[in-house]
Amino acid sequence: MFGFTFAKHLVGRLREEYALCCRPYAFPGAERVHRSAIVLRDPWCELSIGEGSTVEHGTILLARNERHESMAINSHIRIGRNCYIGQYNNLRTGGGAIDIGDEVYIAQFVSLIASGHGIAAGVPMRLQPIPEKRNVRIGNSAWIGVGATVLPGVTIGEGAVIGAGAVVTKDVPPQAIVGGVPAALIHYRT
C-alpha cells in the first residue's frame, strides 16, 4: 500500500511542478497533439505549437531548465505553423531554446538537443558548466530525416534536408542536403 500511496503523491507533485499538457485543446490552433505525447515545461519556460501543426505519439517536448531558474528566461520550444513532428522524437531545451519555422517536417526518432554540459576532467558531470552554444534553430520548409540528431548551437537553414541518421554538429546552409556522422554537405536542392 505504501508504494501506491507514494506513486500517487509523486504523480501529484509532478503535475504541480510542471504544466503537463497532453491534450489537443492545450495548444489552441494546433491541429493535433497526440494524447501519448509527453509535454513538460517549467512554469517560466514557453512552449508553443503553431496553427495546423501536428505532434505525433511518443514524442517528448521538454521545455525546462536543468539547473538554474535564472538561465531559463529564454528557454523555450516554439513550433511554427503547419509543421509535422513524427513519432518518438525527443526535443529538449535544458536551459536552451528550440525554434522551428513554418512548414517543417521532422520524421521519426529525431533528437533536437538544445543544451549540454562541459567535460572538464576532475569535475563531476552534474557540476559541469553549461556551454554558451545551446540553441537549435530550424528554418522554414526544412526536412529532418529519420533518426537524425541535431546538437546544441546548430542552425538549419530554410529548405535544408537532413539525411536519415545524420548527426548535425554545425550550421547547415539554406537549401543544403547533408548526411552522415558528422553531417557533411552532399549537394544543394535545385
d(CA 52, CA 30): 5
What is the sign, positive or negative, of the torsion defined by CA atoms of 71, 168, 104, 187?
Answer: positive
The owner of cell 501543426 is 53
Name the band, by pLDDT with cuts 50, 70 and 90, for residue 91: very high
Inter-residue contact 73 to 46 (CB < 8 Å): no
Determine if residue 148 is left, alpha or beta; phi over 0 gives left, psi from -120 to 50 gives alpha, anything else beta: beta
Inter-residue contact 143 to 162 (CB < 8 Å): yes
User: 3 vs 131, which has greater pLDDT?
Assistant: 131
pLDDT digits (tens, 9 = 90+) for 116-135: 777 888 888 878 777 766 79
d(CA 78, CA 98): 6
Amino acid (one-letter) located at 14: L
CB within 8 A of 179, min separation 6: which ones? Answer: 145, 162, 163, 164, 165, 166, 186
pLDDT digits (tens, 9 = 90+) for 31-47: 778 888 888 877 778 88
Q: Which of 9, 57, 76, 117 is catalytic?
A: 117
The C-alpha cell that represents 66 in the structure block: 536543468
d(CA 164, CA 113): 17
Look up the pTM and report it: 0.80
Closest residue by Cα to residue 18 from 52, 53, 44: 44
Query: Is 117 a catalytic site residue?
Result: yes
CB within 8 A of 138, min separation 6: which ones? Answer: 98, 99, 100, 101, 104, 112, 144, 150, 155, 156
Residue 186 clears pLDDT 70, i.e. is over it: yes
Question: Stretch 138-148: mean pLDDT, rounded?
Answer: 98
Inter-residue contact 127 to 148 (CB < 8 Å): no
Query: Does the N-terminal peptide bond of residue 173 adopt cis geometry, omega within 30 degrees of 0?
Result: no
